[in-house]
């Protein structure tokens, strides 16, 4: 061979792969192995909900709360019991007196023709007092209940009521506090026969009268 002549590379024989092809196979195999491993890791993370891949989230809608319709009562809540027995309670006539400016200054219930011996009942618990108003010719019985903030007033013609309560403290509604002593006595200028009981309720704080009426069932007094 002449000097300085570069030897020619060997010519591969038939069926022999070049060296470059031989080196690529392990590289591709390694890449494929890595991709398969990564895919397996992602599948495992997704399965255990560590990460979410394209998962549709289900939104829970809270159930509707159904509030039943409130029944409107046919009559308002009672504010007290009745001053007379049930058979006579709803026979009372509503009495409303107004000032010149047509502002109601008094509201009550008038009971007429109560016979002698007719029982008068407590409408609220509380302290009871009896006053004889000589000038007005009336007997005033009051029951005050600080807890409810009410004062019940019973007005009779003078000497037409006798107290039977033995204590100055009334413990409950419906307790007998006294009786009509003279059914022939009546208030002057009221009309309508023998008006011998005027019943009213007042707010203890404001002293204003509460507009009231007897319940149809004869068991209580209702606000108007």
Report the C-alpha gap between 221 and 75 in whole angstroms.
11
In-domain check, residue 62: no
Contacts of 49 (CB under 8 A, 6+ apart): none
Q: Are residues 143 and 32 in the same domain?
A: no
Higher-scoring residue by pLDDT: 13, 185: 185
* Run of H or E including 19: helix 19-47
In-domain check, residue 190: yes
Q: How confident is the model at residue 10 (pLDDT cuts 50, 70, 90)?
A: low
Helix (H, G, I), strand (E, B) or coil at 198: strand
In-domain check, residue 5: no
Q: Are residues 23 and 93 in the same domain?
A: no
* Run of H or E including 98: strand 93-98
Q: Record the pTM.
A: 0.65
Q: Are residues 97 and 47 in the same domain?
A: no
Q: Are residues 143 and 218 in the same domain?
A: yes
- The CATH number for 209's domain is 2.70.70.10
Q: How confident is the model at residue 31 (pLDDT cuts 50, 70, 90)?
A: confident
In-domain check, residue 61: no
User: Under a CB-based contact definition with an 8 Å cutoff, are residues 118 and 138 in contact?
Assistant: no
User: By residue range, what is the domain housing residue 152?
Assistant: 80-223
Q: What integer pLDDT is reported at residue 70 of this predicted model?
A: 45
Q: Are residues 84 and 50 in the same domain?
A: no
Q: Are residues 147 and 219 in the same domain?
A: yes
In-domain check, residue 9: no
Q: Are residues 214 and 170 in the same domain?
A: yes
Q: What integer pLDDT is reported at residue 4 of this predicted model?
A: 54
Place of tokens 């011998």: 196
Q: Are residues 92 and 33 in the same domain?
A: no
Q: Six-digit token pair at 51?
A: 């990460």
The per-residue pLDDT for range 96-128, each reduced to its tens digit, is 887 666 667 889 999 999 999 999 999 999 999
- Statement: residue 224 has pLDDT above 80: yes
């Amino acid at each position: 061979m002449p000097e300085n002549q570069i030897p020619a590379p060997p010519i591969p024989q038939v069926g022999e792969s070049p060296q470059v092809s031989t080196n690529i196979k392990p590289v591709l195999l390694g890449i494929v192995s890595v991709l398969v491993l990564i895919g397996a890791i992602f599948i495992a993370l997704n399965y255990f909900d560590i990460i979410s891949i394209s998962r549709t989230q289900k939104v829970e809608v809270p159930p509707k709360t159904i509030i039943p319709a409130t029944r409107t009562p046919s009559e308002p809540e009672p504010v007290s019991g009745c001053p007379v027995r049930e058979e006579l309670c709803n026979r009372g006539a509503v009495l409303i007196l107004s000032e010149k400016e047509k502002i109601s200054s008094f509201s009550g219930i008038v009971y007429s023709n109560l016979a002698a011996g007719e029982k008068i009942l407590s409408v609220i618990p509380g302290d009871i007092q009896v006053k004889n108003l000589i000038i007005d010719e009336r007997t005033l019985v009051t029951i005050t209940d600080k807890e409810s903030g009410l004062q019940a007033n019973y007005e009779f013609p003078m000497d037409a009521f006798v107290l039977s309560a033995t204590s100055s403290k009334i413990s409950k509604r419906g307790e007998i506090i006294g009786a009509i002593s003279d059914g022939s006595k009546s208030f002057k200028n009221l009309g309508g026969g023998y008006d011998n009981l005027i019943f009213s309720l007042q707010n203890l704080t404001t002293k204003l009268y509460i507009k009231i009426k007897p319940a149809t069932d004869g068991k209580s007094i209702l606000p108007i």
